[in-house]
């Protein structure tokens, strides 16, 4: 039996106790129950994962900047170092991968890792175009009985996410009619940065560019404090998707979690003039989301860069909520951010006697710790809150909205095949072209 399967089966055998090969029982934190993790993108955002990962074996680390590898080695001195994640993934004995690279390598690292049978925690967003997300999700679905995945929208662990979902599903605003989410971050750039200077000797710049088309080195893509450097490159189409993949991944999760939605049947978008180098700041996207067993078909809206839905009440200034969501029902509105919620019932039934809160024993239990949820899932039941199916659907929807923005018209979508209906120019934008030598499916 492979070590990974052994860990999983043993984990299923009893809460906190493991049956080892010799039949001995040990506590769940015994050394033999540790995951063997490859940490890819070892500094920056990864530093926020160090504490959660410290309970496991970090056996390999990959970073394109050797200076960052040296910093990460202060915390994980026993890991073998790599600068090319393709080689790192072949390190002997890995069973799990944590990917904290820039966005344009997420789908690649995730897909290669799944192909090798590893559990994957991937920072958000799961991919930079519809096809990347569909490829990784399909691969995960083939292996979901063996592997645990989690996409890094850790705000999902705020209990407010579950409470908002319960209010919407239990009818606190009546029958759901529409959902809205927005973010106000605005980072404007005119275009790719011009060539400037030489990459420092520790930085493997060609590997940083990876599958994307080559752009000349400029120090402006680098050097921000850990976890904030993504704001130096994520607005450029070849590296990120701007606010859609940045805060949009977190904020759409707040709405998506309450919808039980599949893929949309259409997308349309309005916003600032299209710039082929830089993603839009001002953007409003609208999706038609099919009905499900508990609600009718609804529209889902995403706003960013100052474009906003109108407030249902003159007493509520939505502009004061930086990243938020709103649900419109037949009997009122629910407005929320990541940690707070507000129900505004209206009309004759504002006494809310139409609504019965669910009993305490039916309330979703807390997630506690988002990264640890994945670590535990790898060892036990493989269940996480934001696996690559749930998070893949949410970000595929958002990325389809960017396709609609780029073609400048409403597009109709077949989620089963991943095809835009009757719009060849939109179908061209579902996929990206990669640099020679790079493949998504390796």
Ligand X SMILES: NC(=O)c1ccc[n+]([C@@H]2O[C@H](COP(=O)([O-])OP(=O)(O)OC[C@H]3O[C@@H](n4cnc5c(N)ncnc54)[C@H](O)[C@@H]3O)[C@@H](O)[C@H]2O)c1
Output the smallest distance, CB 111 to ligand X, in A. 14
Binding of ligand X by 370 (CB under 6 A): no
Output the smallest distance, CB 230 to ligand X, in A. 3
> Looking at 11-19, 203-211, 256-264, 431-439, which segment touches ligand X (CB under 6 A)?
203-211
Output the smallest distance, CB 40 to ligand X, in A. 5
Cα 238 → chain centroid: 18
Binding of ligand X by 397 (CB under 6 A): no
Binding of ligand X by 286 (CB under 6 A): no
Spatial separation of the C-alpha atoms in residues 295 and 264, rounded to whole Å: 15
Using the 8-state DSSP alphabet, how is residue 300 labeled?
Answer: E
Residues 378 and 7 sit within 8 Å (Cβ to Cβ)? yes
> Looking at 17-25, 97-105, 193-201, 422-430, which segment touches ligand X (CB under 6 A)?
97-105
Using the 8-state DSSP alphabet, how is residue 16 labeled?
Answer: T
Spatial separation of the C-alpha atoms in residues 76 and 218, rounded to whole Å: 30
Which residue's beta carbon is nearest to the bound ligand X? 44
Residue 219 buriedness (CB in 10 A; 0-12 / 13-18 / 19+): middle
For the packed helices 390-407 and 130-143, what is the interaxial angle rounded to 10 degrees?
Answer: 160
Output the smallest distance, CB 207 to ligand X, in A. 5
Output the smallest distance, CB 320 to ligand X, in A. 22
Binding mask 123-162 for ligand X (x = CB under 6 A): xx---------------------------x-x--------
Structure-block tokens of residue 396: 């595929």
Structure-block tokens of residue 124: 């958000």
Output the smallest distance, CB 232 to ligand X, in A. 7
Residues 307 and 271 sit within 8 Å (Cβ to Cβ)? yes
Binding mask 55-84 for ligand X (x = CB under 6 A): -------xxxx--x----------------
Spatial separation of the C-alpha atoms in residues 190 and 114, rounded to whole Å: 37
Residues 440 and 434 sit within 8 Å (Cβ to Cβ)? yes
List beta partners, residue 285.
Answer: 269, 302
By CB under 6 A, name the one of 34, 39, 43, 111 that touches ligand X: 43
Q: Count the residues of the shown chain that bind ligand X, applying the rule CB under 6 A.
A: 28
Output the smallest distance, CB 337 to ligand X, in A. 15
Residues 43 and 412 sit within 8 Å (Cβ to Cβ)? no
Binding of ligand X by 107 (CB under 6 A): no
Spatial separation of the C-alpha atoms in residues 384 and 338, rounded to whole Å: 19
Output the smallest distance, CB 296 to ligand X, in A. 33
Binding of ligand X by 242 (CB under 6 A): no
By CB under 6 A, name the one of 56, 95, 103, 253 that touches ligand X: 103
Q: Which uninterrupted H or E stretch holds 66?
A: helix 66-75
Binding of ligand X by 373 (CB under 6 A): no
The footprint of ligand X (CB under 6 A) covers: 40-45, 62-65, 68, 85, 100-103, 105, 123-124, 152, 154, 207-208, 210, 227-230
């Amino acid at each position: 039996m492979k070590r990974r399967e052994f860990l999983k089966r043993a984990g299923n055998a009893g809460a906190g106790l493991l049956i080892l090969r010799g039949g001995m029982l040990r506590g769940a934190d015994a050394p033999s129950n540790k995951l063997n993790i490859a940490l890819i993108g070892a500094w920056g955002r990864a530093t926020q994962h160090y504490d959660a990962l410290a309970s496991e074996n970090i056996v390999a680390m990959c970073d394109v900047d050797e200076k960052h590898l040296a910093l990460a080695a202060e915390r994980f001195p026993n890991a073998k170092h790599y600068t090319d994640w393709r080689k790192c993934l072949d390190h002997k004995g890995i069973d799990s991968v944590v990917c904290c690279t820039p966005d344009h390598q997420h789908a690649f690292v995730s897909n290669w890792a799944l192909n090798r049978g590893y559990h994957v925690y991937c920072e958000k967003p799961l991919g930079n175009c519809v096809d990347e997300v569909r490829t990784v999700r399909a691969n995960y679905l083939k292996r979901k009985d063996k592997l645990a995945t989690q996409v890094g929208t850790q705000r999902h662990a705020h209990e407010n996410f579950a409470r908002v979902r319960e209010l919407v599903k239990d009818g606190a605003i009546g029958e759901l009619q529409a959902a809205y989410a927005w973010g106000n971050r605005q980072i404007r750039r005119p275009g790719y940065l011009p060539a400037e200077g030489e990459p420092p000797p520790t930085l493997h710049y060609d590997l940083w560019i990876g599958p994307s088309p080559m752009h000349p080195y400029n120090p402006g893509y680098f050097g921000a404090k850990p976890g904030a450097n993504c704001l130096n490159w994520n607005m450029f189409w070849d590296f990120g998707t701007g606010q859609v993949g940045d805060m949009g991944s977190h904020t759409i999760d707040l709405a998506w979690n309450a919808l039980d939605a599949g893929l949309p049947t259409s997308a349309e978008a309005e916003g600032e003039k299209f710039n082929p180098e830089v993603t839009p700041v001002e953007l409003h996207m609208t999706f038609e989301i099919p009905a499900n067993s508990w609600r009718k078909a609804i529209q889902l809206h995403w706003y960013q860069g100052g474009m906003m839905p109108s407030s249902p009440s003159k007493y509520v200034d939505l502009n004061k909520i930086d990243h938020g969501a709103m649900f419109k029902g037949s009997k009122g509105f629910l407005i929320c951010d990541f940690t707070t919620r507000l129900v505004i019932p209206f009309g004759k039934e504002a006494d809310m006697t139409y609504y019965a809160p669910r009993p305490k024993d039916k309330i979703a239990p807390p997630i506690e710790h988002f990264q640890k949820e994945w670590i535990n899932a790898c060892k036990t039941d493989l269940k996480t809150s934001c696996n690559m199916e749930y998070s893949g659907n949410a970000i595929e929807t958002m990325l389809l909205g960017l396709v609609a923005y780029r073609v400048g018209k409403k597009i109709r979508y077949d989620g089963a095949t991943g095809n835009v209906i009757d719009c060849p120019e939109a179908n061209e934008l579902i996929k990206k072209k990669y640099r020679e030598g790079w493949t998504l499916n390796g």
